[in-house]
Amino acid sequence: MPETIEPYGLLGGLLLLALALRTLVVLVVRSRLSARQKEYRAYLRTETWKRLRRAAVERDGRRCRLCNASGALQVHHRYYPEVFGTETIDALTTLCGACHEAVAHRDRHLLGWLTVLGRFR
Q: What is the pLDDT of residue 57?
A: 97
Q: Which residues of 91-121 are buried (b: 16+ CB within 10 A; e: fewer)?
A: bbbbbbebbbebbeeeeeebbeebeeeeebe
Chain segment 25-34, per-residue pLDDT in tens: 777 766 666 7
pTM for this predicted structure: 0.60
The CATH number of the domain where 71 resides is what?
3.40.1800
- Contacts of residue 10, Cβ cutoff 8 Å, sequence gap at least 6: none
**What single-letter DSSP state applies at residue 120?**
-
Is 1 inside any structural domain? no
Q: 77, 44, 75: which is closest to 60 by C-alpha?
A: 75
Same domain, 14 and 60: no
pLDDT interval class at 108 (50, 70, 90): low
- Contacts of residue 67, Cβ cutoff 8 Å, sequence gap at least 6: 96, 98, 99, 114, 119
The domain in which residue 25 lies consists of: 8-33
Same domain, 20 and 63: no
